Amino acid sequence: MNVDQMVQGVNDALTSRRVYGDPIERDGVLVIPAAKVRGGGGGGGDNQQNGGGGFGLSASPAGAYVVKGGDVSWVPAIDVNRIVIGAQVAGIVLFLVIRSIFKTLGARR
């Protein structure tokens, strides 16, 4: 695979079709799903025509546009994993703060 082929593959992968899904219509409501898409690539070579390259692509749900009665609204996707991890981090921080307060109060006696 040469560099031109790799660049063409990257262009094909990073199209708006990767970000917006096929519209879904039910009962007069149109839903257009959307995703967060990230990608990166690299390559290199030397004077002896040795070389290589690679590309990575990552996607996660972002939400959906909802079209109903001529009004358009954005409905964000809920990332349950991020919520759970955030709650765990907040709980640990709260525990450390409370422990620090009790240690300080105990040292004053």
| 1: pLDDT strictly greater than 80 | no
Please indicate, yes or no, whether residues 42 and 57 belong to a single structural domain of this protein.
yes
Confidence of residue 55 (pLDDT cuts 50, 70, 90): confident
Please indicate, yes or no, whether residues 61 and 37 belong to a single structural domain of this protein.
yes
**Cα–Cα nearest to 29, from 77, 65, 76:** 65
Please indicate, yes or no, whether residues 61 and 12 belong to a single structural domain of this protein.
yes
Please indicate, yes or no, whether residues 71 and 106 belong to a single structural domain of this protein.
no
d(CA 81, CA 88): 11
| 32: pLDDT strictly greater than 70 | yes
- Which pLDDT does position 15 carry in this prediction? 65
| 64: pLDDT strictly greater than 60 | yes
- DSSP bridge pairs for 30: 25, 67
Please indicate, yes or no, whether residues 12 and 55 belong to a single structural domain of this protein.
yes
- DSSP bridge pairs for 33: 64
Please indicate, yes or no, whether residues 88 and 72 belong to a single structural domain of this protein.
no
77 vs 58, which has greater pLDDT? 77
Instruction: Work out the percent of the chain whose per-residue pLDDT is above 90.
Output: 39
Please indicate, yes or no, whether residues 51 and 73 belong to a single structural domain of this protein.
yes
DSSP at 66? E
| Range from 8-12, 29-33, 39-43, 81-85 carrying the lowest mean pLDDT | 8-12
Stated pTM of the model:
0.54
Please indicate, yes or no, whether residues 83 and 43 belong to a single structural domain of this protein.
no
Q: Which residue range(s) make up the domain with 83? A: 78-109
With b for 16 or more beta-carbon neighbours within 10 A and e for fewer, the 34-44 pattern comes to: bbebeeeeeee
